[in-house]
């Protein structure tokens, strides 16, 4: 009987105390599905949908990318995009060839090969609405300033061989809001004047 009374008093104290006992914390993070797991499920899902694995895992590319244009009017494609390896395209062209903005945007970085861009030589980085960034490197000259608004097709630099480069060329990268490099070939128009090696 004493045990019953003690349990009853304890229950009443808990019910009427000013601070109820803390509930066991739920780790909601553990309940979240891993992005790679989600991607694999989508890839395996029926329905005839062609899922783009890169876009599912990385957050993909914004709609503005569909309007992107080639940064050079004529070039030889030297080296393509390789996930986990080469994060852009290498476009060979004569020294001094005008480098064009691939989309409208605001110049975010103009670097002469300093911290963060070692090996890239002279670099221009353009922010396209906080959704996409394009990078142009190994430039002979940078023809823009930080904060400058540029229109698609504006001359922003000239082809060079600065940084670690063995020939005159433009290294061109496209990155999404997560900083993930995207394969420019997937989004650039097929009408570019590409000379194959």
Is 169 a residue of the active site?
A: yes
Listed in sequence order, the DSSP H helices in the chain are: 2-16, 28-31, 35-44, 53-58
Distance (Å, whole) CA 89 – CA 86 = 8
Residue 47: DSSP 8-state: S
Contacts of 61 (CB under 8 A, 6+ apart): 55, 132, 174, 176, 182, 187
Catalytic site residue from 128, 138, 169, 171: 169
Triad 158, 108, 91: Cα angle to 5°: 35
User: Within 10 A of 82 (CB to CB), how many other CB atoms are there?
Assistant: 11
Structure tokens at 85: 């390896």
Active site residues: 169
């Amino acid at each position: 009987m004493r045990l019953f009374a003690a349990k009853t008093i304890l229950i009443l104290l808990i019910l009427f105390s000013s601070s109820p006992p803390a509930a066991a914390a739920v780790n909601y993070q553990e309940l979240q599905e891993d992005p790679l797991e989600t991607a694999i499920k989508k890839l395996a899902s029926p329905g005839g949908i062609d899922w783009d694995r890169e876009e599912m895992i990385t957050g993909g590319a914004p709609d503005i990318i569909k309007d992107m244009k080639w940064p050079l009017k004529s070039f030889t494609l030297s080296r393509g995009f390789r996930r986990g390896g080469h994060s852009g395209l290498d476009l060979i062209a004569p020294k001094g060839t005008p480098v064009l903005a691939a989309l409208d945007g605001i110049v975010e970085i103009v670097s002469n090969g300093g911290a963060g861009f070692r090996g890239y030589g002279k670099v221009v980085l353009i922010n396209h609405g906080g959704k996409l960034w394009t990078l142009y490197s190994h430039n002979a000259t940078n023809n823009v300033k930080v904060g400058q608004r540029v229109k698609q097709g504006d001359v922003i630099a000239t082809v060079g061989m600065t940084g670690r480069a063995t020939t005159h060329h433009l290294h061109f990268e496209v990155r999404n809001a997560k900083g993930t490099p995207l394969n420019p070939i997937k989004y650039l128009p097929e009408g570019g004047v590409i000379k194959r090696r």
